[in-house]
């Protein structure tokens, strides 16, 4: 069974924001990715708007709606409030009504996501947020480490899916020492499916380590941005998309 590929646009937006104007055009780039065969678009709008801006969300949501087989996934910290022209994470999600919202425990100044939720500490806080999003028809995924106890708690607080954090797997893979970490992800995928959670994954997955990660059972979707951007620079966007889709087929 094929695994869906959602392209994360953060790095493209970061390049755009480094100069005045609109180059590269984020919407045109997303449209090209869709035309080349990706199944989803992912964005992570942070309050400092260092890459994805709040103003990007509505046109991206509309683009995905016009291509009704394309999933729009907004990820971020649900506790991030308003800052200047950033309305706050949850209001931004509610205005866009994406197919999926991936909640991530990032701090405001954090360069990138680097750990999953500790639901023993935050589960009671997240539960009403999750229910509110689900009431609006938005699928909710929680960014999680492959910790079986935590995954059981993800089900208890009402999540629909988990997104397994693959940073440690990618780092171990680069050293040829990934089998133990991969086994943890395999166990996490099996448990998630057993208790009724869908399984997504993301962070530092690339063409080198993705094929082996496909052994994680019940994997539904991967979100890839940084590596896809680098491969597009080296190989071109069309060959890069073909390579990723082939690996996930």
Q: Are 6 and 42 in contact (CB under 8 A)?
A: yes
Catalytic one among 51, 71, 75, 221? 75
Q: Are 228 and 244 in contact (CB under 8 A)?
A: yes
- CA dist 100 and 151 (Å) reads 18
Closest CA to 200 of 235, 166, 231: 166
115 is catalytic: no
Closest CA to 69 of 95, 93, 34: 34
Catalytic one among 51, 178, 185, 203? 203
Catalytic one among 44, 51, 178, 185? 44
Q: How many other CB atoms sit within 10 Å of the CB of residue 206?
A: 18
- CA dist 130 and 237 (Å) reads 35
44 is catalytic: yes
Interacting residues of 72 by C-beta distance below 8 A, sequence separation 6+: 40, 41, 60, 61, 64, 65, 96, 98, 99, 100
Annotated active-site positions, please?
44, 75, 203
């Amino acid at each position: 069974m094929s695994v869906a590929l959602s392209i994360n646009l953060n790095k493209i937006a970061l390049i755009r924001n480094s100069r005045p104007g609109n180059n590269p055009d984020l919407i045109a780039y997303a449209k090209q990715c869709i035309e080349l065969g990706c199944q989803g678009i992912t964005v992570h709008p942070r309050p400092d708007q260092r890459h994805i801006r709040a103003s990007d969300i509505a046109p991206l949501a509309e683009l995905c709606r016009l291509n009704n087989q394309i999933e729009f996934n907004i990820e971020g910290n649900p506790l991030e409030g308003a800052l200047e022209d950033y309305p706050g994470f949850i209001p931004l999600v509610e205005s866009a009504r994406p197919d999926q919202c991936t909640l991530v425990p990032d701090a405001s100044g954090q360069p990138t996501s680097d750990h999953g939720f500790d639901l023993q500490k935050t589960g009671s806080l997240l539960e009403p947020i999750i229910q509110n999003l689900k009431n609006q028809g938005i699928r909710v995924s929680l960014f999680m480490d492959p910790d079986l106890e935590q995954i059981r708690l993800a089900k208890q607080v009402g999540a629909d899916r988990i997104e397994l954090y693959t940073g440690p797997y990618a780092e171990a893979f680069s050293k040829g020492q990934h089998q133990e970490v991969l086994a943890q992800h395999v166990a996490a995928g099996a448990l998630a499916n057993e208790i009724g959670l869908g399984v997504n994954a993301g962070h530092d997955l690339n063409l080198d380590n993705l094929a082996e990660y496909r052994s994680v059972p019940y994997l539904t979707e991967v979100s890839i941005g940084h590596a896809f951007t680098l491969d597009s620079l080296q190989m071109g966007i069309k060959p890069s998309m073909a390579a990723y889709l082939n690996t996930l087929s």
